[in-house]
């Protein structure tokens, strides 16, 4: 057996040492500590991350993807998942999947112990995500990301006669 470094293998000690804290800029309660496992091992079309959420913290922002499927698997602790505007208590061994077009979802930890989970999904070149509580729509494309207010959306088609 070899102990030499391998791009395809992450050791638990390396994951712990490389973990970072990050948050979503639109949610002041958003705070996760973890590591992007898939990215670190060279995966480009799928994402898998280990996340730790302290008591009183939240994941990102309530959102739904149009093109990228996502999933969450709880390893330890408890949380509250908001899925399609219904709240569910979740705990170790629970799995949540968000096929596309997805329903809005979000995870928070109102309990006294750390919530630990794996999260993942597709990493497509093009995606659209809606943020229902914020009235925003995000377009991800090869040149970057653009954000629009949903209230400004216009249907496409012939202009009505004036």
Structural domains of the chain in order of their starting residue, each with its CATH number: 12-125 (2.60.120.10)
Rounded Cα–Cα distance for residues 49 and 120 (Å)? 6
**What is the mean predicted confidence (pLDDT) over 76-101?**
97
The per-residue pLDDT for range 17-44, each reduced to its tens digit, is 999 999 999 999 999 999 999 999 999 9
In this prediction, residue 157 carries a pLDDT of 78
In sequence order, what are the residues at sequence separation of 6 or more whose Cβ sits closer than 8 angstroms to the Cβ of residue 146? Answer: 138, 139
At 23 the pLDDT is 94
Whole-number average pLDDT of the chain? 93
**Strand blocks (E) in 2-94:** 20-22, 32-36, 46-53, 64-65, 70-76, 78-83, 86-91
pLDDT at 4: 55
Inform me whether the pLDDT recorded for 14 exceeds 60: yes
Using alpha carbons only, how large is the chain's radius of gyration in Å?
18
Please give the model's pTM, rounded to 2 decimal places: 0.89
Alpha carbons 103 and 95: distance in angstroms, whole number: 15
CB within 8 Å of 152: residues ≥ 6 apart:
none
Strand arrangement of the beta sheet that strand 32-36 belongs to: 20-22, 32-36, 46-53, 115-122, 70-76, 95-98
Rounded mean pLDDT of 105-128?
96
Neighbours of 9 (CB within 10 A): 10
Length of the chain: 162
């Amino acid at each position: 057996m070899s102990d030499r470094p391998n791009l395809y293998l992450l050791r638990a000690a390396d994951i712990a040492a490389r973990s970072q804290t990050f948050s979503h800029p639109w949610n002041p309660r958003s705070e996760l500590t973890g590591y992007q496992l898939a990215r670190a091992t060279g995966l480009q079309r799928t994402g898998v991350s280990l996340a730790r959420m302290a008591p009183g913290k939240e994941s990102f922002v309530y959102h739904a993807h149009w093109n990228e499927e996502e999933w969450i698997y709880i390893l330890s602790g408890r949380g509250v998942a908001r899925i399609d505007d219904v709240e569910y208590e979740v705990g170790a061994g629970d799995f949540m999947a968000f096929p596309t077009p997805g329903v809005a979802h979000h995870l928070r930890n109102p309990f006294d112990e750390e919530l630990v989970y794996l999260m993942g999904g597709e990493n497509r070149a093009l995606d659209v995500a809606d943020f229902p509580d914020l009235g925003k729509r995000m377009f991800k494309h090869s040149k970057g990301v653009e954000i629009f207010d949903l209230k400004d959306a216009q249907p496409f088609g012939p202009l009505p006669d004036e």
